[in-house]
Amino acid sequence: MGRSPCCEKNGLKKGPWTPEEDQKLMDYIQKHGHGSWRTLPKNAGLQRCGKSCRLRWTNYLRPDIKRGRFSFEEEEAIIQLHSILGNKWSAIAARLPGRTDNEIKNYWNTHIRKRLLRMGIDPVTHSPRLDLLDLSSLLSSPLYNQSHNLNVSRFLGLQPLMNPELLRLATTLLSDNNLDLHLLQNLQENNQLCNSPVQTQFPSFTSNSLQNPIPGIPACTTSTDPYPPPLLNETQFPSNETSFSVWQDNVDLPCNLTDNLIPMSNYSYYSADQSLANPLSEYSNPQSTNQNFIFAPVLSTPSSPSPTPLNSSSTYINSSTEDERDSNCSNMLKFELPYIFDVNEFM
């Protein structure tokens, strides 16, 4: 393994390709195929490394590459695929004919990611951002003052919306008797708070609503069962421990997995847990990754009244401004995976 020797500094040219170089590369590949990328530059008369040639060919010169602005259908597909695959750009590109992984990656980083952030959506988890919540007002509330043995997630009723890291931070801070509210206020000030669409788009819900968020949808279950058992009700929660061990250790699937699901609309769920939102992510704990479970909530549900097909053009008008795309984007996030996405392909 290790680095490819072709990347060594051996006088090979770097930087932008000239039309002459492009022509040489295209001519050679059309005649001989690319064969071994390592030997190609020498055979083609190019002062480039094989890696550079491969990149130029796959990202720019390949005849089947579609150039130009991404359509709404493509953008919709990217968002949907990214919610399942994470930053697996090549896997996403494989499902968008004519688009390269590099192009999709660039488009994501320069357009879609920014738009999601503006909407208060975490582009990594595709869930609302905790940093839009007001921590200091939370801490000054009477509920907090009643008990220091606070189960923060229960208190908030917002566990499904939370970033585990921030939950952990909040737990640590709240469990500290010397808690400095100023510290939290500073934390909050650094969190770019804004008027969030989250409140209306993703209303918080109680454990009761989570217990059976959609009639007819079975509750979740552990990794050995297709669905987990019903959630504990309020009185069943351990009184003097937080539920954050689920996030911290994450050795087994949380028993209350429905906490990780956000109903994104009246017919689909969304995972708030990064490891669930991005099941193929290398960061997800393999032990906690039950493939059957992970995709079940993300996929179409029986209660779905009107699936939105990937290629549907009726969903969005052909607007072109960023604001219009923002608006359309919020709809995209309420997606339901169309049947043409066979999730087994991603496994």
Task: Figure out which of the listed residues 47, 109, 140, 149 binds DNA, where binding follows CB under 7 A.
Answer: 109
Distance (Å, whole) CA 40 – CA 30 = 12
Q: Judged by CB under 7 A, which of 43, 106, 145, 147 binds DNA?
A: 106
Cβ distance 6 to 51 under 8 Å?
yes
Cβ-based nearer residue to DNA, 144 or 346: 346
Contacts of 91 (CB under 8 A, 6+ apart): 81, 85, 280, 346
Residue 152: exposed, middle, or buried by beta-carbon count in 10 A (0-12, 13-18, 19+)? buried
Span interacting with DNA, options 97-105, 185-193, 292-300, 326-334, rule CB under 7 A: 97-105
The smaller minimum CB distance to DNA, of residues 49 and 262, is found at 49
- Interface region with DNA, contact rule CB under 7 A, candidates 47-55, 164-172, 222-230, 260-268: 47-55
Residue number, 50 or 213, with CB nearest to DNA: 50
How many CB atoms within 10 Å of residue 252? 13
Of 86 and 297, CB closest to DNA: 86
Site string for DNA, 211-240 (x = CB under 7 A): ------------------------------
Any contact of residue 98 with DNA (CB under 7 A)? Answer: no
Q: How far is the CB of 282 from DNA (least distance, A)?
A: 8
Give CA–CA dist 40/53, Å, rounded: 8
195-225 residues labelled b (16+ CB within 10 A) or e (exposed): ebbbeebbebbebeebeebbeebebbbbbee
Task: Give the dihedral sign, CA 242/248/249/252.
Answer: positive
Please report whether residue 52 would count as binding DNA according to CB under 7 A: yes
Q: Please identify which residue in 26, 71, 73, 90 interacts with DNA, judged by CB under 7 A.
A: 90
Interacting residue with DNA among 75, 101, 131, 336 (CB under 7 A): 101
66: left (phi over 0), alpha (psi -120 to 50) or beta: beta
- Residues engaged in binding DNA (CB under 7 A): 1-7, 13-17, 35-39, 50-52, 54-56, 59-60, 87-91, 101-103, 105-107, 109-111, 114
